[in-house]
Structure 1
């Protein structure tokens, strides 16, 4: 299955792409309309200085030329001398050299060509023809200002950095409240009550947080009312059932009557059903966790199941000793329900309780050798009062609450319960406990 991208990543990529396109477009416009003309004007001014210096050097008496050359070097950073006859074929790759060559062309003597090259040592040479002579002006790259390519790349790098920071901040601003909302919704789904979400910030997100807080409060009130109502009704039902049982107990010899025996069986069944409903209601209450030896806990459950119910219940563990922070009472109730369900409906009297440890989770499985559960009914059997045996007879179909209670306990504590088919036949119910 293809993994969906997060809202943070999608928002960051979208914002970064938009800003980057804008920055590149703005940078190209700046390069073409500002930096290039500025460099051309600089080259034009520098070519005028070179031609003026060449004309002055030619017109000066030979004895004063060294002083003039020294003045050029100190004031303008230019070294001047007559160009050698063999000037080589140095190649100039710097963009500024092309601007300077174009600017010198109309200023030198007609019929002559000014050569602008880059020497192997990194200095620039401008060979300017003047009055039948060719003067070579040498200067460092540091004199070349502005530098359009360098300015463009620095501008682009700065724009990229700003784009990444802005995109990250904006994506975080959008995705963070949504992530908090998802965590809070997941906590409600697990039976908890999250803290109220902050209703500050942008209007749309504030309205979403406010609506979620109101919905969460209503759900919490409904759960509390439902639990109170169920507990009250169950208590009110169990009181008359207890009185009926006491009345049957004082009937004396009439207790041997088949009718009385059936009434006692019905009372016992109703009492067990009410007790299961109360247990389902309490399964929504989260239990504090504590460090527990999981193997000792499972061994105690297996021993108790083997003592109270006929059949063979075995424990198998892998992965070495296992001490983890869990809700022990909730885990005991889940294992009890799964083992009882396997013994009652597994078709055989042999049940395996398996504990496996992986890097990020611990798996506890209860396996039987029965007929199995159809794939399309594995989700339904964990709903309250659903039975594979449609007669609604408790002797053959049970109360329909065992797996529902186990699932509710698992969801309340952030665990996962799943039903799988065994390769050789039968059913495996696995509880996954995540490790922090």
Structure 2
């Protein structure tokens, strides 16, 4: 009953053959897996080296194992943020050098005209130019500081109370401000940063609204809070809504301080919001004017919902 093919079989040789075959298979498989893992790491290493040398790094492919794909995605985000910061720095320095030339030129002309005589009008003009330069430098330094994290810790804050405090200060200053807010809306935020953002938005709104009233509205939901500043000015062309958030960009090409400001108010708002993980949106209102909103997440760990 035994098959003749089984006669003369050598179990030790068969075991050795199986062991060698399995070892070869495991070795080849291991080499393929290691190669698949090390190739993205080599690409990431070259990207980090280029980034350290200040060379623009092309986006890394976000493929391969899940952990390496997540790492490549984070690296691409970091590279984009660094590139954007460098662009902002270049724009900042270029804007300073450009905007300081005009008052400096006026001061040179006034100094030449003042040789050998006194002119109160020229002295007043020179004083105004110097104040303009001081304001520009102050706002620029403020923007530079805002590009770094603020040292104040995030704390649970009632946004309705904060909005009421800001509104009361504006009303006492003689401004027409209409406030709409929920009874309570708590969120874990950096209170100082949000106050700066809202004050900058209100300054911008009152500047363009003239004598017309401005609205400050707080909308609160379970996952987010939204604070909007509504004015009744001329609004912003739709194709420039994103560009006005860039440093030194102004709608008025004449660069007149009386009509265009310094071009830093909304840029500071954008930088502060990005550092906190908030979102700034600008939209033209159907009734006329601009709606500037800051969206704040409320579903942060350990946060109590109201």
Find out whether 1:293 has 2:158 as its counterpart: yes
Aligned with 1:425 (options 288, 292, 298)? 288
| Aligned-residue offset at 1:367 | 0.2
User: Residue 178 of structure 2 corresponds to which residue in structure 1?
Assistant: 314
1: CA distance, partners of 2:285 / 2:168: 24
1: CA distance, partners of 2:185 / 2:118: 52
| Aligned-residue offset at 1:212 | 3.4
User: Residue 251 of structure 2 corresponds to which residue in structure 1?
Assistant: 388
| Aligned-residue offset at 1:390 | 1.3
Find out whether 1:415 has 2:278 as its counterpart: yes
Following TM superposition, where does structure 1 have runs of at least 4 consecutive aligned residues deviating by more than 6 angstroms?
Answer: none
* Aligned partner of residue 331 in structure 1, secondary structure: helix
1:328-361 CA-partner distances (Å, limit 9, x unpaired): 1110110000000000012443111100101211
2: CA distance, partners of 1:353 / 1:337: 13
2: CA distance, partners of 1:407 / 1:205: 31
Q: Relative to structure 1, is the Cα distance of residues 210 and 394 closer, same or farther in structure 2, using a 3 angstrom cutoff?
A: closer
2: CA distance, partners of 1:331 / 1:255: 48
Instruction: Give the conservation status (yes or no) of the 8 Å contact 1:348–1:370.
Output: no
* Aligned partner of residue 282 in structure 2, secondary structure: strand
* Aligned partner of residue 418 in structure 1, secondary structure: strand
User: Residue 198 of structure 1 corresponds to which residue in structure 2?
Assistant: none
1:394-418 CA-partner distances (Å, limit 9, x unpaired): 0111001111110111111000000
1: CA distance, partners of 2:187 / 2:230: 23
Find out whether 1:305 has 2:200 as its counterpart: no
- Greater Cα radius of gyration, structure 1 or 2: 1
User: Residue 366 of structure 1 corresponds to which residue in structure 2?
Assistant: 229
| Aligned-residue offset at 1:305 | 2.7
Aligned with 1:405 (options 258, 268, 277)? 268
- 1 or 2 for the larger relative contact order (CA 8 Å, sep ≥6)? 2
Aligned with 1:326 (options 186, 189, 193)? 189
TM superposition score normalised by structure 1: 0.43
| Aligned-residue offset at 1:366 | 0.1
* Aligned partner of residue 165 in structure 2, secondary structure: helix
Q: CA RMSD in A?
A: 3.9
Unpaired stretches in structure 2, ≥5 consecutive residues: 1-32, 45-63, 108-116, 300-306
Unpaired stretches in structure 1, ≥5 consecutive residues: 1-169, 182-200, 245-253
1: CA distance, partners of 2:265 / 2:123: 29
